[in-house]
Structure 1
Amino acid sequence: MLSRTYNRIAFKIEEAEYEDYLERIVALGLEMKAGRTRVVGEANSIYFYDVDNHLFELHTGTLVERLREYKKK
């Protein structure tokens, strides 16, 4: 088994697609990883492992949006 790290492949999804992707990942029985603590307004992420132990992230926001929220703090 490969060791697990936080190295991941991330994809942007639309907020409206979040629940659909979450349901599909659960239905496939893929192992999910708890997300990190979020800043309010930072958007949402789903973290999951594929069968080869690669970590993927589906994120509803952009880097620009994330940095804007951090700047407010």
Structure 2
Amino acid sequence: MSDKMISGISHITFVVKDLDRTDKIFRDVLGAEEVYDSGEQHYSLYREKFYVAGGQWIAVMETEEIVKRTYHHVAFRVEGSSLAAYRNRIKQAGLEIRPSRSRIGGEGESIYFYDYDNNLFELHTGTLQERLEAYKKG
């Protein structure tokens, strides 16, 4: 393997206005574990917290520089049997669920929701292979 090959995703970063408020989404909705809180000691650009969800490192940074909503998002893989429970957690957190895009059979199901700062999250039941097979069948 060449040293120029990407070996995976290092981390995902979200930028939010209120880190403490967003903490509830990562803990209560996504079930993430907080592993770091910078507090007042800033080693990066802003105050930040690190979480681990599904083995993935997620950084959340606090600033006033928030952008408008887009379709840019991160999708976390979940089991289909857990979608209803996630939908309830999202609603209990007072978050906005975005209507799903149109889908063809076999590509999995999704719940899309915005956090308080216009970051879009997707909880998805499918895999890349399942989606490629569904698209091939049309």
Same fold (TM over 0.5): yes
The answer to whether residue 125 in structure 2 is matched with residue 32 in structure 1 is no
The CA RMSD over aligned residues, in Å, is: 1.1
Structure 2: stretches of 5+ with no match in the other structure? 1-65
Matched residue, 1:2: 67
Q: CA deviation at 1:63?
A: 1.1
Count of residue correspondences: 73
With the length of structure 1 as denominator, give the TM-score of the two structures.
Answer: 0.92
Secondary structure at the residue paired with 1:51? coil
Secondary structure at the residue paired with 1:39? coil
More helix, by proportion: 1
Matched residue, 2:122: 57
Note the alpha carbon deviations across 1:16-40, whole angstroms, 9 max, x for none: 1111101110111101111100001
More strand, by proportion: 2
Structure with max Cα Rg: 2
Q: Which whole-Å CA distance do the structure 2 matches of 1:60 and 1:22 have between them?
A: 13
With the length of structure 2 as denominator, give the TM-score of the two structures.
Answer: 0.51
Secondary structure at the residue paired with 1:9? strand
Structure 1: stretches of 5+ with no match in the other structure? none
Matched residue, 1:66: 131
The answer to whether residue 81 in structure 2 is matched with residue 42 in structure 1 is no
The answer to whether residue 87 in structure 2 is matched with residue 22 in structure 1 is yes
Q: Which runs of 4+ in 1 moved over 3 A?
A: none
